[in-house]
Amino acid sequence: MLSIQIYDGKQANEIADLFYSAVHHISPEIYNKKQQDAWAPPPDYEFWKARLEQKQPFVALINNRVAGFIELDADGHIDCAYTHPDFQRQGVASQLYQYLLEQAYEQKLNRLYVEASLVAKPFFEKQGFTTVQQNKVNRNGEILINFSMEKWI
């Protein structure tokens, strides 16, 4: 059974590992090994702990394991949205997004926006986001393609 909660500091390492695993699970035909390594180097747990304390993501749990997480900034920016490879294609991201959307309504936000990877773009399109522009991001010397997307709510 999936439950969603606000971030708990004890989850920092598990979330950092989830991020690393999710990126490195992407098909190399989409983002090659060098791009994956640039996007998600081995986790710096102190960096992640500080980042997560500031971001306070929404965390999906299945059997006490972190199955995914999503972040909502005060201005409507979705900074991270990742699902652990063991739980992909099971509705985790959709349930996290629905929870985030409820929070956005409560906060009276009128716009959500995200920089979606090639992998995440179809998910956000399904949620009603439109593409504003394609971006080429230099991450640790590698060029990664992502898309600025938005949704008015």
Q: What are the residue ranges spanned by the domains of the chain?
A: 2-109
Scan for tokens 């936000």, then name that residue. Answer: 109
Torsion, CA 36, CA 65, CA 96, CA 29, rounded to 10 = 20
**Phi-psi category of 58—alpha, beta or left, where left has phi over 0 and alpha has psi -120 to 50?**
beta
In the chain, pLDDT over 70 holds for what percent of residues?
100
Distance of CA 140 to the CA centre of its chain: 19
Q: pLDDT, tens digit, for every residue of 61-80?
A: 999 999 999 999 999 999 99
Distance, in Å, from the CA atom of 57 to the CA atom of 46, rounded to the nearest integer, reads 16
pTM of this prediction?
0.96
CATH code: domain 2-109 is 3.40.630.30
Mean per-residue pLDDT of the chain:
97
Distance, in Å, from the CA atom of 129 to the CA atom of 103, rounded to the nearest integer, reads 17
Q: Label residue 128 by pLDDT band (50, 70, 90).
A: very high
Q: How many CB atoms neighbour CB 24 within 10 A?
A: 15
Q: Label residue 133 by pLDDT band (50, 70, 90).
A: very high
Using DSSP bridges, classify how beta strands 130-139 and 142-152 pair: parallel, antiparallel or unpaired: antiparallel
